[in-house]
Structure 1
Amino acid sequence: MRAFQPTRRGRPPKRGRGEAANDNEPDRGTAEARAQRAQMAQGARLEATAHPLDLLLAHALIDAGQHRAGMRYAGLYRRLVGRTDVSYQRLYEGLAGRMGRETGDGPENVEEGADRQQIFRAAQAALRAEGAVVAGIIERLAVFGAFPDWLLAKTAIAQRERALLARGLDALARGFRNA
């Protein structure tokens, strides 16, 4: 009798034409995460739980124009202000000696970058004109992708927050049209 059970070491077993066993299987998350997404979707497609604006659009709480304005604002925010998630990619690139190289995601020319900046500033000014509370709701929800507790609740507070969200998304849409 052995004191320790031997373990399998090395690469995972290969299937088919040389690909690893789990390369073609998307990560669906843990059972708890799947249950939480299904509970949030409440009958909508599970893909709608990828972003709070997608979920609101799937439940017809915002229209397509508001969704588009929120996603455009989030994209411009990420592009011009900075990253909204934590990543160690820059650290790893620095360790690999690739610091300061062009990543390919910058504007093609100065005029294009200035145009984006002007459009973003116009939309941001329209949003800030609605007030700090509205701007905070939009930035937490659209830019940072935070799922608030009131997102699909049926309380009076939730309805007030959704009304503020719709007001902010409408202001963004106006800001993008006027830019």
Structure 2
Amino acid sequence: MPRAAFRRHGRQVLAHPGDAGRHLARLAAALELPGAEPVQGALSDLFVGCTGASADVRRSALAMAASRLDPPVRRAFEHQVDHPNPARSSVLATRWSVLASPSMDVPRRSVRCSSDDSRRLAQAGAAAVERGDLEAQEAFLGHCLECGDVLAFMLARRALARRGEPLPERWERVSALLQAGKLT
């Protein structure tokens, strides 16, 4: 149900982009969802959409969301609180944003999956190696190459190294491709 409420509030924000109350309701709905990305997306939309709102509204929204944001992201929003006209294209926008759009400076992985997704996928990838599940490993490695998800690959590789698991040969090839930036 929280996801449906978040989507409903997103449609309202699209219809009334300058309405701070609708943005705050959407942010509250985002806080009910797991992970930081929906919260970051809703907050970036509020900053982009509520250009006529006071800095206090942006400051209040940031205070609501602060505990769910990574420190560098929180600091980036703090720098924008007093700037009433942020760019619609922003490194702070996420795939959950409806008004703001990710800028070209955003890594490919960030547009396609969040760091929360990468962590979850890394756990699944490491577990696939432990189980000897080749199909799941290929799906994980394919994801890493398709999305340029170096974070997921690095986290899975580190988990395997901590357990003393040898890295399969295919993983070594994918590692080299990711390091070279050769993505599919």
TM range (shorter): under 0.3
What TM-score, normalized to structure 1? Answer: 0.25
Higher RCO (CA < 8 A, seq sep 6+): 1
